[in-house]
Structure formats: C-alpha cells, structure tokens
Chain A
C-alpha cells in the first residue's frame, strides 16, 4: 500500500522489533519516534486529513505536540475545520491559538510519516504513565482516534503500536 517509504521497515514490527532497528540503544532514551501511516483511500473526493497528536496524563492538562492542518490558506481559513478533530479540540485545541509555534504543520499525504519528540516536548518530565493520542479527521470523510500508552522513564526496548481501520493506518512509537 505505502511503497518505498522508509518507515515501512517499522510497519509490522512490535515491541522487540523496535530494538532491532534502533540505531543506537541509549541507556536513558530522551526521544520518542512516532510513525503514523496515513492510508491511501479510493474515494472520489480526497483531502489529506487533519491530524492532531497529543499527550494525556491523568490529572494534567492535555499537551498538544503536533497539529497538521491547512495552515497556509489565506486569512487563516484552514482553522475553521480544526474543531472537527473533535476529541483533540475538546482536550486541548479549543484553548490554543493558531498557528501554534512548533506545533502547527502542513497536512501529510498518504504514506508513513515519522516525527520525533523530546521528553520535554511531550510534557513527560515527571515520571509516570502517559498516553499518546493520535486523531485524524478528513474533509468529506470520517474520523478516527488511536491511543498508545507509554511510561517515562522510557526504556529503549519499550514501544507501542495501534492500528487504525479507516482514517489511520498503523501508528507506532519507539524510544531512543
């Protein structure tokens, strides 16, 4: 489905597999790599989905780490549809201003996309249990949300994976 995309190597690997492809296994990982597959859909009218990625921790405010939307339209018109990423909009988006520095990004085409976040970017400086949430909403299409729990301090061997069925493909995390 996604041809010649670098992260395809990660696709289909779980847990232990992440160790095998990790370039250098650090004793105390400081970075999370997130790989998001956006499926290619056979539909008459296709628009690249809006995607929000955020971190939840019970008792804390949700922390948005990335939002992919039509950020370069005139008069900021692409923000009109941000509310359709509705769980993220409720958890964090509605109290933010856009464009959001370091968070706003362009929508991505079908395929695998790898983005990396530092522990600080993730808001995971406190030790504990967290959840990475990825939500995609597509214009004239559907919506899907995936959750991957993780903990910090992270182990290089730790990882996680969730598989979407409609608007998202496989989503995986790994630490280095």
Chain B
C-alpha cells in the first residue's frame, strides 16, 4: 500500500498530500460474533483493507502474520484460510471459554543509508532480524526506526477474561479498563493504550462507526490519550466500530525529516462490537 502512495508522490511538494490517501485506506477484521455461547463454538473472520467500513471493496488483508491465542495463552490454529480479490477469510475453533485474541502483528524497520554519494531507502520487509544483511558494506549515515503495526480483535465465549492483555512492551497495545467484549450503547468505555509498554499522553485515537456506505457523514470520533494513556468513549449507538491509534505524525518537511532520520512509528487497529442495551 505505502509503496504505491510513495510512487505518485514523486514531487516533494506532493508528499504532504500523499498522507491523506494513505490514512483513507483502513485495514480491518470483522468477526462473525464477538459474544458467544455454546459448546462447539467457531468464529469466522473477514479481513480486508478498504475505504468504507466494513465493506471489502479494495484489497484483502494478507494473512501471513495472522495468529490466534486461546484464553489460556496458548496459540491456536487459524483454519480454512482463503484470500480472494477483495478480502481474506478464516475460521478459529473456540475450544475454550474466555476471551480469545486474533491478531496480525507486523514489525519492521524503516530507514536509509548513504552509499557512493547516494541516499538509499531500506527495502520493504526489513526487520530487526535481517537489518544487518540489508545494509551493504561501505554504507554510511545509516538511519533506522522501528515500525510496529498491530491489528487485532477479541472474541469471548462465556465470561470475559483478561489474562491475554499482558502487554508485550512492543508497539501500541490495548489494556482494558472496560473489557472490549462487554460494550453497550449508552455506557462509556475506557481503554488504556501503551506505546512500548508505557502510557503516553497525546496519542491520537480515531473511532469510526461501521455502515459508512449508507450515510453521508463519516461520524468519526477523535480522542487523545490522557497522561495515563487512557481514553473514554461514549458509543452513540450499537454496532461495529473501527478503532485506530497511531503515533503522532510530525510534519513531513524534507529538511526536518532528513535531519531527524526516520520516525519511529506504531499503529493499532481493532474492531469493537457495541451491543444494544
């Protein structure tokens, strides 16, 4: 996605504008249910990158990094995977009671180096593990920054549990004050977001209700984390909501960017289901 954006942003003057379409594509997962009962429980998930929420109309979300964790912390199988033209889909057999996590976490390294008088970008797919081999001998002025992108959803069989919410300390993570599978319209929910394991004030949090195709107004709700990394959200109505948290984007002045090197970036995406009271 991002390489395409960069492609037509050849002119430096356009690079600021290029950020707009980049943020307009939204990646998401949509589970068949978030609150489940029964003895033999399955969830099916659609996953896509699109403009409108939650309609698969642009690109499928790649499943390479998709994983699931059972309430006891063990990794569980992603079954019946398929990636079509506009969406991916898969199933998870929910064999335990409690809250499950389904997540695609993609970590990477962005950056550049100078070689033979030219500045080169690190290729896509660079990670901390392969960084050393991707920097050629003789490279100077190596500037790198880590990027962490987490797209995850939670589904609960029976009573919600919280033992999967122990932060890894990497990227942006959600810590429930209100459990993400216990949301009702008319009740405020509070979530804490950690960046690399620590609360950070001022992280932008965007919340957009699904069903965009059939209304004129986006209905976007904007928040910023407080000093504890927390936001309180009042759901205007029942439905599915897309929630996105990012590290703040600084201005893209070429000079400033060159001087400071690449910025450390992290993003968090989840889909929340708010039930009718």
Give the interface of A toward B (CB within 8 A). Answer: 75-77, 79-83, 86-87, 89-90, 93-95
Q: Which residues of A contact B196 (CB under 8 A)?
A: none
B159 touches A94 (CB 8 A): yes
Nearest-Cβ distance from residue A136 to partner chain B, whole angstroms: 15
From the candidates B158, B275, B276, name the one contacting A95 in the complex (CB within 8 A). Answer: B158
Nearest-Cβ distance from residue B37 to partner chain A, whole angstroms: 4
Sort chain B's interface into a size bin: 10 to 19
Main secondary structure, interface of A, reads: helix
17 CB < 8 A contacts A-B = A76-B38, A76-B39, A77-B38, A77-B40, A80-B38, A81-B38, A83-B37, A86-B276, A87-B277, A89-B35, A89-B37, A90-B182, A94-B35, A94-B158, A94-B159, A95-B158, A95-B159
Question: 6 smallest A-B Cβ distances: which pairs?
Answer: A80-B38, A83-B37, A82-B37, A76-B39, A79-B38, A95-B159
The reply on B17 being an interface residue by CB < 8 A is: no
Q: Which residues of A contact B277 (CB under 8 A)?
A: 87
Give the interface of B toward A (CB within 8 A). Answer: 33, 35-41, 156, 158-160, 182, 184, 275-277
A86 touches B37 (CB 8 A): no
**Measured between alpha carbons, how far is A82 from B41 in the docked complex, in Å?**
12
**Measured between alpha carbons, how far is A75 from B33 in the docked complex, in Å?**
21
Q: Which residues of A contact B159 (CB under 8 A)?
A: 94-95
**Measured between alpha carbons, how far is A90 from B179 in the docked complex, in Å?**
12
A80 touches B182 (CB 8 A): no
A82 touches B275 (CB 8 A): no
A79 touches B35 (CB 8 A): no
Q: With A86-B275, A87-B277, A90-B182 in contact, is A80–B158 under 8 Å at CB? A: no
B40 touches A75 (CB 8 A): yes
B38 touches A86 (CB 8 A): no
Residue of A nearest to B36 (CB): A83
Q: Which residues of A contact B38 (CB under 8 A)?
A: 76-77, 79-82
B37 touches A94 (CB 8 A): yes
**Measured between alpha carbons, how far is A89 from B36 in the docked complex, in Å?**
10
Nearest-Cβ distance from residue B160 to partner chain A, whole angstroms: 8
Q: Which residues of B contact A77 (CB under 8 A)?
A: 38-40
Q: Which residues of B contact A90 (CB under 8 A)?
A: 182, 184
Residue of B nearest to A76 (CB): B39
- Most chain B beta carbons < 10 A, residue from A79, A80, A86, A95: A80
Nearest-Cβ distance from residue B2 to partner chain A, whole angstroms: 39
Nearest-Cβ distance from residue A135 to partner chain B, whole angstroms: 12
Q: Which residues of A contact B39 (CB under 8 A)?
A: 75-77, 79
From the candidates A75, A86, A95, name the one contacting B35 in the complex (CB within 8 A). Answer: A86
**Measured between alpha carbons, how far is A104 from B153 in the docked complex, in Å?**
32
**Measured between alpha carbons, how far is A53 from B180 in the docked complex, in Å?**
26
New A-B pairs, 15, CB < 8 Å, besides A86-B276, A94-B158:
A75-B39, A76-B38, A76-B39, A77-B38, A80-B37, A80-B41, A81-B37, A82-B37, A86-B35, A89-B35, A90-B182, A90-B184, A94-B37, A94-B159, A95-B158
Nearest-Cβ distance from residue B176 to partner chain A, whole angstroms: 16
Residue of B nearest to A69 (CB): B37
Nearest-Cβ distance from residue B119 to partner chain A, whole angstroms: 56
Nearest-Cβ distance from residue A168 to partner chain B, whole angstroms: 17
Nearest-Cβ distance from residue B156 to partner chain A, whole angstroms: 8
Residue of A nearest to B275 (CB): A86
**Measured between alpha carbons, how far is A82 from B37 in the docked complex, in Å?**
6
Residue of B nearest to A82 (CB): B37
Residue of A nearest to B42 (CB): A80
Residue of A nearest to B33 (CB): A83
**Measured between alpha carbons, how far is A86 from B274 in the docked complex, in Å?**
12
Nearest-Cβ distance from residue A76 to partner chain B, whole angstroms: 4
Residue of B nearest to A86 (CB): B275
Residue of B nearest to A83 (CB): B37
- Most chain B beta carbons < 10 A, residue from A81, A94, A95: A94
